[in-house]
Amino acid sequence: MQQQGTEIARSTSVGITFRYEQGISLILMLPSRGWITLVVGFAAVVVVATLVSCSAGKQVQPQAPSYVTSGKFTSAHPNLLAAAKDYIDTYPTHVQQPIAFTHKVHLQNGMQCTDCHKGVAEGPDATIPNVQLCMACHQVIATDKPEIKKVAAYQDKGEQIPWHRVYWFYQSAHVKFWHGPHIRAGVDCATCHGDMKQQTVAVRKEGLDMKFCVDCHRLHKAPTDCTACHY
Ligand code: HEC
Ligand code: HEC
Ligand code: HEC
Ligand code: HEC
Ligand code: HEC
């Protein structure tokens, strides 16, 4: 079973490499061949992926790692359905989180994004606050609420809350992203993340594809060469 899985996963990654070249030749407006192979090949991957993921009997979130346990992306896929989703670049919009956190309530109470996402203006990563920051308030605020008891339990165990990532890119897309230049150029968080005042846990805004990035870069005369965003 394991052996078979590896075989198929390997052929999937060939498909992804092939598409990458296809993508480049499309962008460069070169005549591209092999579309039929691509479509038939992909259909086969989807069928196999669906069969395997059903027989495996458990759902794994496609490559959306936890901040605490990994933080690093690997090129491996947890299952073949995830590989297929990578292939067509679909991302989950709603992610199950360990605590029913609410952006809405904290923002209504006057908190700023940077109170919790401290790295956003400087570094590549916005960062997620650690449990100590939560407990600085929740030592005394809403201590009787079940969700706050769960937060306190993580602190008591000396653990961080294992949040799952909402925004990320498949490693096969080789995209690099920095917050810093955008925040310094005055781009509003909502342009890319939607209105957080309407969100409890963060919900991924759809359409963060290459066109979205490049259109705005053209408009603002920001870099549009491939290596600005790809490694
Ligand atoms: C600056 C203080 C402050 C910080 C820091 C803070 N919170 Fe809160 N939090 C509040 C306030 C105020 C409320 C609203 C309490 C109420 O409605 O009774 C709240 C409400 C909540 C609720 C809803 C509780 C309920 O069921 O009604 C959750 C869950 C929560 N916070 C989790 C967190 C987590 C997780 C963190 C850390 C990432 C955090 N909070 C950081 C002040 C804070
Ligand atoms: C130009 C689009 C854009 C803007 C503007 C933007 N973000 Fe992001 N954000 C992204 C992308 C893309 C990712 C995923 C990055 C990755 O996987 O490398 C992300 C990831 C994140 C993450 C999770 C990962 C991390 O970086 O730690 C947080 C939190 C976040 N953004 C908060 C913010 C806040 C707060 C603001 C405004 C102050 C903001 N973002 C503005 C596009 C944007
Ligand atoms: C009280 C702390 C707090 C404040 C204030 C706050 N956030 Fe968050 N944010 C969190 C926590 C905790 C998470 C992880 C849970 C989740 O995904 O919702 C998170 C997650 C996110 C994510 C998804 C990160 C990922 O995994 O990709 C984005 C985007 C984000 N916040 C944007 C914002 C923006 C924009 C603001 C201001 C308008 C803001 N946040 C204000 C605590 C906060
Ligand atoms: C709403 C407009 C807007 C969107 C959308 C946007 N960007 Fe940007 N981006 C900018 C601006 C403005 C700069 C700053 C240029 C400067 O500092 O000269 C920038 C800078 C960057 C830089 C730094 C480039 C360098 O070499 O200095 C990278 C990397 C980048 N963006 C990647 C992305 C990616 C990836 C996306 C899509 C997920 C994206 N951007 C979406 C406006 C945008
Ligand atoms: C402003 C940022 C930006 C620039 C400039 C840019 N890209 Fe992209 N590119 C992206 C983003 C974001 C994605 C979407 C990744 C996803 O959704 O998984 C992407 C996706 C792709 C993909 C599909 C890869 C896959 O596996 O999904 C190819 C191929 C690609 N870009 C090639 C190029 C080439 C060639 C250039 C130069 C002509 C270029 N890109 C310039 C941001 C950029």
pLDDT (tens digit, 9 = 90+) per residue, 124-165? 889 999 999 999 999 999 999 999 999 999 999 999 999 999
Cβ burial, residue 94 (10 Å; 0-12/13-18/19+)? exposed
Q: How far apart are CA 194 and CA 202, in angstroms?
A: 9
Ligand 2 pocket, 171 CB below 6 A?
no
Look up the pTM and report it. Answer: 0.83
Among 192, 205, 211, the mutation site with the greatest number of ligand 2 atoms within 8 A of its Cβ is 192
Task: Classify the phi-psi angles of 171: left when phi > 0, otherwise alpha if psi is within -120 to 50, otherwise beta.
Answer: alpha
Mutation to probe ligand 2, out of 101, 179, 215 (largest number of atoms < 8 A from CB): 179
3-state secondary structure of 95: coil
User: Which sign does the torsion angle of CA 55, 61, 65, 67 carry?
Assistant: negative
Query: What is the rounded CA–CA span in Å between residue 80 and residue 78?
Result: 7
pLDDT in tens, 200-213: 999 999 999 999 99
